[in-house]
């Protein structure tokens, strides 16, 4: 229960951050990605602000084996750079560049009642299902 | 030559929003011990494990509910989606498959991964930023859409 409440809280604040920053607006994101047009560098500041806070949080987290609510820390430890990581990320970037929507802002825009966001999120979840099916087939083979 | 769109430039709200995103990721990490990676949290719901479902749904409800809660206090900033439906479908599929295959998106690799100085996440972030810039360049300046 505590775990889920903390998750709900984090999701909500995350959503506020995306709204305040302009990241929830795909046109703003495309303005950032359009370096050859009239470039809007604002979103670099979103990344910067988030990472400043994040670096401190991870420095604290690294010294702990249990979270402040007493749960096991689940910080990824693998540092393996492989084809999957690079190809997957390259694919994600193409999708991001087409519509200006990444997963978090897609969910927030859906919550704001945007029909187009619903279409995007439905396709994104379908993509995730396709990934799971491919993985399952590969595991069998 | 890079031309800056000064009239659209909003460094302060971007920084403030970024700090909020960082605080959300920090609270999730320090309270629950987990990385706030949106694609991973959502993707985990597709192969549900016992006891691993409720918190994922709770996080998603928080994200989904943010605009409604925001509206209690004031007006929502504009959300402009100019891509057409076929483009949205292709983009969604690529984002869905790509983020799962590459184990993360802008939040998991971009924010959390870079914050913990992970080389793996740096490679992922540079990869999706690169194709993001290239894709917009091709669509707007080569195809001229």
pLDDT on residue B145: 80
Q: How far apart (Å, rounded) are the C-alpha atoms in residues B121 and B57?
A: 25
- By Cβ distance, the residue of B26, B66, B120 closest to A57 is B26
Set of chain B residues whose Cβ sits within 8 Å of the Cβ of A138: none
Distance from CA of A97 to the nearest CA of B (A): 4
Q: What is the DSSP string of A81-119?
A: --HHHHHHHHHHHHHHHHHS--HHHHHHHHHTT-HHHHH
Question: Residue B1 above 80 pLDDT?
Answer: no
Give the pLDDT confidence of A25-56 residue by residue, as tens digits: 999 999 999 999 999 999 999 999 999 999 99
Question: Residue A1 above 90 pLDDT?
Answer: no
pLDDT on residue A76: 84
pLDDT on residue A93: 98
E strand spans, A5-75? 38-39
Question: By residue range, what is the domain housing residue A71?
Answer: 2-140
pLDDT band at B139 (very low <50, low <70, confident <90, very high): very high
- Chain mean pLDDT for chain B: 95
Give me the residues paired with residue A39 across strands: B4
pLDDT on residue A68: 94
Q: How many domains in chain A?
A: 1
Give the pLDDT confidence of B39-96 residue by residue, as tens digits: 999 999 999 888 899 999 999 999 999 999 999 999 999 999 999 999 999 999 999 9
Set of chain B residues whose Cβ sits within 8 Å of the Cβ of A98: 83, 87, 90-91, 94, 135, 139
Give the pLDDT confidence of A114-128 residue by residue, as tens digits: 999 999 999 999 999
What's the complex ipTM? Answer: 0.96
Q: How large is the average pLDDT for residues B4-33?
A: 96
Q: 3-class SS at B4? A: strand
């Amino acid at each position: 229960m505590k775990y889920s409440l903390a998750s709900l809280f984090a999701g909500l604040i995350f959503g506020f951050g995306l709204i305040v920053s302009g990241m929830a607006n795909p046109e703003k994101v495309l303005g950032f990605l359009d370096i050859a047009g009239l470039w809007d560098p604002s979103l670099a500041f979103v990344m910067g602000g988030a990472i400043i806070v994040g670096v401190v949080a991870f420095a604290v987290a690294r010294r702990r084996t249990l979270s402040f609510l007493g749960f096991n820390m689940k910080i990824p430890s693998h540092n393996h750079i492989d084809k999957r990581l690079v190809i997957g990320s390259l694919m994600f970037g193409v999708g991001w560049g087409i519509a200006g929507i990444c997963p978090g802002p897609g969910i927030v825009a859906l919550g704001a009642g945007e029909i187009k966001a619903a279409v995007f999120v439905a396709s994104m979840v379908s993509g995730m299902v396709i990934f799971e099916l491919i993985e399952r087939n590969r595991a069998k083979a | 030559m890079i031309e800056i769109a000064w009239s659209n430039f909003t460094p302060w709200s971007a920084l403030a929003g970024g700090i909020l995103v960082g605080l959300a990721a920090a609270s999730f990490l320090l309270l629950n011990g987990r990385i706030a990676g949106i694609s991973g949290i959502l993707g985990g719901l597709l192969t549900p494990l016992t006891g691993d479902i409720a918190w994922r749904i709770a996080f998603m409800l928080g994200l989904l509910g943010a605009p409604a809660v925001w509206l209690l206090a004031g007006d929502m900033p504009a959300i402009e989606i100019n891509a057409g439906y076929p483009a949205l479908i292709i983009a969604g599929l690529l984002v869905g498959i790509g983020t799962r295959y590459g184990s993360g998106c802008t939040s998991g690799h971009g924010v959390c991964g870079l914050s913990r100085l992970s080389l793996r996440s740096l490679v992922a972030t540079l990869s999706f930023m690169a194709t993001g810039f290239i894709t917009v360049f091709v669509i707007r300046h080569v195809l001229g859409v």
